[in-house]
């Protein structure tokens, strides 16, 4: 007798998948055009032109990788399968790993990343890969909305019981930045979001992961009137 296994799919999964496919098609068209141009121009293009085209393909790969990661994470969240493996995590290492993944996008927009964290910043207890994804999403958001030739800043402090880390960019910020709706799934700013437009999953995933770590995330303006996203996480018990 054939055994049939029933797979429960979240009710909103089709909406997430449709939006992801629309975005993937846009990226695929750009990939196809770039690859065709590269193929046709191999013997005619200058070294600078070839490097520019390869860099464009690399940026597209980064965006597609983020799309897939966020889509998979959204399915885990919706289905209740997002598990957190708790262990001591050093946030400076997490931030360094996230920054390395997005180095090509910072170079494209001629943005500099400035990281100033206290040397004695305590470890937190959490899941390092998931926290890396949090900072990948926040840094990608800063890269996208921050202007070219600008700086992105990461800072932090601690009160002994919690660690606070923020990511800042020089962009104007979305309307109603301080409102919690900016972290809603599929939230997008129609007037201010540059191309290519995203899915509106990144900040929702950030909030979902941080809340499962017992922390909070908020958006607002810094004292220097920069867009700031602030994460607060409980201090861990042990050193990594």
On average, the pLDDT of the chain sits at 76
Region of 80 (left: φ > 0; alpha: ψ -120 to 50; beta: rest) is: left
pLDDT at residue 96 in the model? 95
Average pLDDT rounded to a whole number, residues 106-135: 93
> How many CA atoms are closer than 13 Å to the CA of 209, on its beta-carbon side?
28
pLDDT band at 6 (very low <50, low <70, confident <90, very high): very low
pLDDT band at 163 (very low <50, low <70, confident <90, very high): very high
- Whether the pTM exceeds 0.85: the reply is no
Q: How far apart are CA 164 and CA 121, in angstroms?
A: 9
Q: What is the DSSP-derived secondary structure letter of residue 122? A: P
Tell me the pLDDT tens digit for each residue of 10-22.
Answer: 445 445 555 554 5
Q: Sort 13 into a burial class: Cβ within 10 Å, 0-12 / 13-18 / 19+.
A: middle
Region of 176 (left: φ > 0; alpha: ψ -120 to 50; beta: rest) is: left
**Do residues 38 and 51 touch, judged by C-beta distance below 8 A?**
no
Q: Sort 164 into a burial class: Cβ within 10 Å, 0-12 / 13-18 / 19+.
A: middle
pLDDT at 91 over 50: yes
Q: What is the dihedral of CA 92, 96, 97, 101, to 10 degrees?
A: 150
pLDDT at residue 84 in the model? 79
pLDDT at residue 32 in the model? 56
Q: What 3-state class would DSSP assign to 114?
A: strand
pLDDT at 42 over 50: yes
């Amino acid at each position: 007798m054939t055994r049939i296994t029933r797979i429960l799919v979240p009710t909103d999964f089709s909406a997430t998948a449709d939006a992801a496919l629309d975005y993937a098609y846009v990226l695929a068209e750009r990939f196809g055009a770039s690859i065709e141009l590269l193929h046709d121009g191999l013997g005619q293009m200058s070294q600078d032109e070839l490097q520019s085209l390869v860099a464009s393909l690399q940026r597209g790969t980064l965006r597609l990788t983020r799309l897939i990661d966020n889509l998979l994470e959204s399915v885990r969240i919706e289905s209740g399968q997002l598990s957190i493996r708790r262990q001591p995590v050093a946030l400076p290492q997490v931030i360094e790993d996230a920054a390395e993944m997005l180095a090509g996008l910072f170079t494209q927009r001629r943005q500099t990343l400035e990281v100033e964290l206290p040397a004695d910043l305590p470890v937190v207890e959490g899941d390092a890969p998931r926290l890396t994804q949090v900072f990948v999403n926040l840094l990608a958001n800063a890269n996208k909305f921050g202007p070219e030739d600008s700086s992105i800043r990461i800072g932090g402090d601690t009160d002994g019981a919690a660690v606070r880390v923020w990511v800042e960019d020089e962009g104007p910020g979305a309307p109603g930045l301080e409102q919690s709706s900016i972290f809603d799934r599929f939230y997008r700013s129609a007037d201010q979001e540059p191309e290519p437009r995203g899915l509106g999953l990144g900040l929702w995933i950030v909030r979902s992961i941080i809340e499962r770590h017992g922390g909070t995330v908020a958006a607002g303006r810094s004292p220097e009137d920069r867009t700031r996203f602030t994460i607060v996480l409980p201090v861990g018990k042990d050193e990594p």
